[in-house]
A = this chain, B = another copy of it.
Amino acid sequence: MRPGERPEIANLPLFREMQERQRERIFTGSFLQAFPPQLTLFELGQYPDFLHVLVDGLVELHAHSAGRDTTMRIVEPVTSFILAAVVTDQPYLMSARTIAPSRILLVPAALVREVVKDDPALMQATMRELAKAYRDMVRALTDMKLRQSAERLGNLILQQEQRQGGTGKVRLKAEKRVLASLLGMTPENLSRAFGVLGNHGIAVNGAQLTITDRAALEAFVRPDPVPGDPP
C-alpha cells in the first residue's frame, strides 16, 4: 500500500468510526491487488468472496441477461462496492470489470461479516452505507422511468459537475459507450443527446464538457425534486 492510502481507506465512511482494534483485523486480513484494464473481477450469480474497495482506477458494474448488457454503475476511487451481497451472503446481481488499470483492496467476505457482528460502529456504518446505496438506486430508477434520454444525460452532467468541484467544467472519466449504457441508451443516441444539449447550455469537446448556461440546462433537465444526499 502506498503512503497515504491506508489513512484514506480508514477514513472512508464505512471504516471511519469503528474501533481501531477491529479495523486492524480488517486490514491485516485483506490484501491490495493490482488489475489490468478490461479484466472481469467477478460475475453475476457468484457468491461473494470479498468486499471490494477501489483504491485507484475505475470499475464498471454491469448486469446482463439473454445477450443484452447494461452498465449499472461506474465506481470511482476511493469507494467500497458490493457491500449488500457481502453482508447478506447472497449471489452478486451484477458483474464487475475494470475499465482502467486499478488497484483494489480485497477484504474477505466472511471476515467482514464477522467483524460487523463484533463492532457496533461498523454495523451502523454498514447500515448507513446500504441506506445510501438504496436511495441512489431509487433515484436511478425514477430517473429511468420519468426522464427521457437527453434529460438523463443533462442531469448526470450536473451531478458530475458538483462532484468535480462546481467549476462549470466536467471531464468524463469513462468512454462514451459506457456512459451511454449507464444512461440506458446506445452510443449513437448519446451522441445525438449531446447535440441536443448543445442548445441547452452545454459545450462538448471530446471528453471535456463545459456548462455555458446553467440556467438553461437546469430548465431543460427537470432536476430532482429532492436534492441529492451530501457525499
A residues lining the B interface (CB < 8 Å): 44-45, 63-66, 68, 70, 72, 83-85, 87-88, 90-94, 116-117, 120, 123-124, 126-128, 130-135, 137-142, 144-146, 184, 222, 224-226, 229
Contact = CB atoms under 8 A, between A and B. Distances in A.
A19 B204 CA distance: 58
Given A91-B226, A225-B44, A65 B142 contact: yes
Contact of A146 (B70, B92, B131, B138): B70
Contacts of A84: 130-131, 134-135
B137 A70 contact: no
B134 A130 contact: yes
A114 to B, nearest CB: 13
Contact of A92 (B123, B137, B226): B226
Given A123-B120, A135-B93, A138-B94, A145 B88 contact: no
Contacts of A68: 146
Given A45-B226, A224-B65, A72 B127 contact: no
A138 B224 CA distance: 20
22 contacts: A44-B225, A45-B226, A63-B142, A64-B225, A65-B146, A65-B224, A65-B225, A66-B222, A70-B145, A72-B142, A84-B130, A90-B135, A91-B226, A93-B138, A94-B138, A120-B120, A123-B123, A127-B127, A137-B138, A137-B141, A140-B141, A144-B184
- Nearest 5 CB-CB pairings of A with B: A137-B137, A130-B130, A84-B131, A63-B142, A66-B222
A144 B142 CA distance: 11
Contacts of A123: 120, 123-124, 127
Contact of A45 (B91, B120, B225): B225
A231 B208 CA distance: 46
A91 B135 CA distance: 10
